[in-house]
Chains A and B, each alone.
Chain A
Amino acid sequence: MGNNTAVEVKNLIVHYETEEGIVEAVNNVSFSIEKGEVMGLVGETGAGKTTIALSIMGLLPHPPAKMYSGEIYLDGEDLTKKSLKEMQKIRGKKASMVFQDPMTALNPVIKVGDQITEVIKLHDPSLSDAEAQKKAIDMLEMVGIKGDRFEEYPHQFSGGMKQRVIIAIALACQPELIIADEPTTALDVTIQAQVMEMMKSLQHELNTAMLLITHDFGIVANICQKCAVIYAGEIVESGTVAHIFDNPMHPYTKGLFGSIPSLDKDVERLTPIKGQVVDPTDLPEYCSFYNRCDYCTEKCKECDPKLVEVEPGHFVKCIHVMQGAEEG
């Protein structure tokens, strides 16, 4: 792990143990993000993206969630070994999170400004109330909201404004890592672009590492340097944005691109990925994308492929690529 690494996740396995069975939500996921870097985590609903985010924050709901293995290094320290008290000092300070739905993520009975001041006071108790408030107003203005709206309540803000407030809360203590869990999914398209643009510039300004969870490749192309595609709790392909966009190798990644409408190509119909997402309570021994894959062969059923580095920094988890690598 280099000195420049902000966060590193190693061999993360998380299961949800419910009465209906064990949901294998995250299966052996590893990745790292450098300081100042933005990594996109792309996948369908239920692929385990949010579970990865909550694991890093130590916010997995116990029960039913259970972390079987995994090490999460933030600033050189393994978060999985931290006590709740130690985690409380890290949350909001070193790692913070922007949640998916801004409409419900703010407390409806507390003034917006006080919700920002809370996180500032929490991690810097030496500040006086006035100083913390001053800082909170600065944060509000940084995300493009007039400071005089400090005294207002969340219901007086629009969705996009609320998300800005949440971003202000996340950035208030200048964390080393921001996890943004589909930050714009609940917003309409024009506001999406505004919020994304703002996040991008703030992230750049503060040189914060960011894990951006999304299912929108457009956003990934716009602000990420790195990208990992996740399917059924596994990273099936990862690499730089150039790798993924110009040379997608995993059938699932190709399938995802095939289902995006294109402006410059004249296509009769989009090609959706056939079939349904594999049941996470009943994952096969072999490649979990097998049932939906256009390239599947009998060989695919023989073993579960490993992530193989097909070119420097570009990893793919597919048996065909493995073979190619072995042969070549």
Chain B
Amino acid sequence: MADASYPDNLKYHPEHDWALIDGDVATFGVTWYAQDALGEVVFFDPPEVGTTVTAGEPYTEVESVKAVSEVVAPLSGEIVEVNAALGDAPEAINDDPYGEGWMVKVRLSDSSEVGALIDAAAYEAMLA
């Protein structure tokens, strides 16, 4: 997997999740730090489209060989798309956490929550 990186165009949740906001829809995933801490991901439990997620609450799990980790939603809303490709190739979460490793797309219910997220610099400062 590539070296640590935290793209500037994303917003971050302190539980090691990112959100890419595009109008009222956001894409969620886990950060480079999270996938590194987890080790090789072997299973992604896809949530169902239509499920409501709440900021700060877990919406799915990812598993490595000897760990299970809940994935926390950075923002609230309704899942409109799930990255089905992760079912067969969960390693994308390690190989490309901000690209092929995206997890869900969510129609946001409260755009004001975005203000609570932190930017890349603040997230990196938190990790240091």
- A and B are interacting partners: no
